[in-house]
Structure 1
Amino acid sequence: MRLKMCSIHVKDPASAHEFYTGILGFETLMALPEHNLYIIKDPAGAGGGSVGLLLEPSDNPIGAAYMNACHDAGLPAIVFGVPDVRAEYERLAAKGVIFQGEPSEGPGGTTVVLDDGCGNYVQLHQD
């Protein structure tokens, strides 16, 4: 058994797709704009790219409530592994990405949290 797909709720799937591919560097696995359906994957060579991330519309009241509650509490909706958190922080800050703070180190590694502008906080993690 393996993880095939997971999802995060977003305010606007098309805008989220643009951010996650154009800014963060993910690749499009599937895009059906006429159905408001966007699925992204890891960039080629960055982990196999076999797991899809569905950018799910938050038009469901349950999904919207969960997304908004996590965002209001400052909780990341998802965690992405990166080889160098500080380098990603610098790269993304230069592109105008908003962070909760600067990278920090702890027993579990180095982390930083960014706002995707689509209703979610995203944590970057380095072992």
Structure 2
Amino acid sequence: MRIYLTQVFVEDQAAAEKFYTEVLGFRVKHDIPLGDARWLTVVSPDAPDGTELLLEPNGHPAVGPYTRALVADGIPAASFAVDDVRAECDRLQDKGVRFTQPPTDMGGVTIAVFDDTCGNLIQIVQLPAGS
């Protein structure tokens, strides 16, 4: 068994697609119209056949309170691995990304958290060498 798909709830799929592709650097894997929404997934360009991230519309009544509570408590909706958190923070800040937590060493891993402009906090993590 392996993880095929995970999701983040987004306020606007078009804006999310732009942020996740143009700013973060992911690539669209699937973009299938489904009435008012789309089955819109992105993947890492380093693993195009790897785990997909579904940019899921946040229309369900439970989603708004859930995502607002996560953001209010500073809890990331997703975590992405990077080779160098500090370099990635610099790259993303140059693109206008707002970080809510700067690079922080957490006992063997380094993390940072940013606002994805789509209603979520996202964590980036640098794992120890060889992990």
TM over 0.5: yes
SS of residue matched to 1:91: helix
Compare the two structures and name the one with the higher helix fraction: 1
Instruction: Give the equivalent residue in structure 2 for 1:17.
Output: 17
Unaligned runs of 5+ in 1: none
Deviations 1:50-69 (A, max 9, x none): 21111111110112221111
Q: How far did 1:42 drift?
A: 1.1
1:33, 1:94 → 2: CA distance? 33
1:18, 1:32 → 2: CA distance? 16
Q: How far did 1:33 drift?
A: 5.2
Instruction: Give the equivalent residue in structure 1 for 2:75.
Output: 75
- Aligned-partner residue type, residue 13 of structure 2: P
Q: TM-score, normalised by structure 1?
A: 0.91
SS of residue matched to 2:62: helix
Q: How far did 1:32 drift?
A: 3.1
State the number of aligned residues. Answer: 125
Instruction: Give the equivalent residue in structure 1 for 2:56.
Output: 56
CA RMSD of aligned residues (A): 1.4
Q: TM-score, normalised by structure 2?
A: 0.89
- Aligned-partner residue type, residue 10 of structure 1: V
The range that moved more, 22-31 or 58-67, is: 58-67
2:101, 2:65 → 1: CA distance? 25
- Give the share of equivalent positions with the same residue, in percent: 39
Deviations 1:23-56 (A, max 9, x none): 000010112356422111111xx24542111111
Unaligned runs of 5+ in 2: none
2:48, 2:15 → 1: CA distance? 25
2:84, 2:33 → 1: CA distance? 33
What are the equivalent positions in structure 2 for 1:1-12 lying under 5 Å apart?
A: 1-12=1-12
